[in-house]
Amino acid sequence: MADDNIKRPCEGIRVIEFCTMVSGPFAGQMLADLGAEVIKVEAIGGDPMRYVRPEHKGIGALFLHVNRNKKSIGLNLKSSEAIGIARALAANADVVIENFRPGVMDRLGLGYESLKAENPGLIFVSISGFGTSGPYADRAAYDHVIQGLTGIMRVAGTAGKPVPVRNIIVDKTASMSATNAILAALLQRERAGGGGQRISVSLLDSFAAFSLPEMIVNHTFLEPGADTRPPVDIYHPLETSDGYVIGHIQLDAQFAAACRIFGREELIEDPRYCTMAERAMHFEQMWSEFAAPARTMTTGAIIEAANEHSLPMAPINTVEEFLEDPQGQHSRAHFVHQDPELGPIRLLGYPATLEGSPARVEARAPFLAEHTVELLHELGIDDATIATYKAAGAVQ
């Protein structure tokens, strides 16, 4: 358990988040876990992700997983009063994150150049589908649109039929790219004497950088006649008597171990499999050799034998089975957080362990506009004025 008295690395950093859905909010959450004060600016009615079921007491589960440790203020950005409040928040911020379509923040009077005039140290981060320039800059984009564009669906599919990765992987990749860039910009600001900068993160560029390295090996060396290789499929689940397992064989010793586990010792000297290079050319055939004996063994027996022989292998779990996995429980890949309003809720851990300044979860995702009054008081706005703003629909 983390010591709550240890200062987290981003404490003292204030982030204003003008974001909905996943790409921006997940970046804000990672900074919040690291100690930043993250203020989520929501439209009247809130981030649409709030209403994606399952939900409990007004907070959707997915919203909860990308918005913890934040404060929420409800602002109608079509109102001049709300724009003034947003500008006042940004004037005292270190970072602004937004994931509107390009140009929206400028039209609202909340663009980088405008805010920079009042806050030269501001780091202004825009997350969009295709960036701020180019032929696709004005197009809308969602996760599976980018998956289709970058080619990963063709690689994941078989027999020419594209198959999507059924996970919001593109948005989360952009989030981590944005977080990485923000931390770099904060370090640069400290080293360079206080100046901020604009950062653009596109779903397309960040996912291409993440997903394509192994997919473009045959498009890397561009001289005529350069070496290429046929596609190699290393993913071969084995059916067991009560489930499935998946493993990887790289080294000669690992192949020999698999042969012994599945009672196929005669394959150890088979010329198709006796070297790493030969196995790479015959992966599918190699794994098919183990299919029949695997079906006679339990998943547990295979995993136990694999561990004894140092063969990398794991059961193919359901999500429910993973939640019972002892390693995930030990490392707090997920954990139960006790919240006074929502009761016990399962959350996911921060993806890295910082021994000297650990990330930690101090609060669930906020209810809509939960901190509006608190934040307006901090700006020196009194209760009577707040009531006027609420009556006019400028704040929630």
380 φψ region: left (φ > 0), alpha (ψ -120 to 50), beta (else): left
Tokens of 108: 């609202």
Tokens of 286: 């190699």
d(CA 142, CA 126): 15
Tokens of 253: 């010793």
Tokens of 293: 């004996």
d(CA 334, CA 4): 19
Q: Which of 283, 153, 162, 288 is nearest to 231 (CA)?
A: 283
Q: How many CA atoms lie within 13 A of 247 on its CB side?
A: 30
| 380 DSSP 8-state letter | T
Cis peptide before 54, with omega less than 30 degrees from 0? yes
Residue identified by tokens 């204003």 is 16
Residues with a catalytic annotation lie at 171
- Angle, to 10 degrees, between the axis of helix 252-261 and the axis of helix 299-308? 140
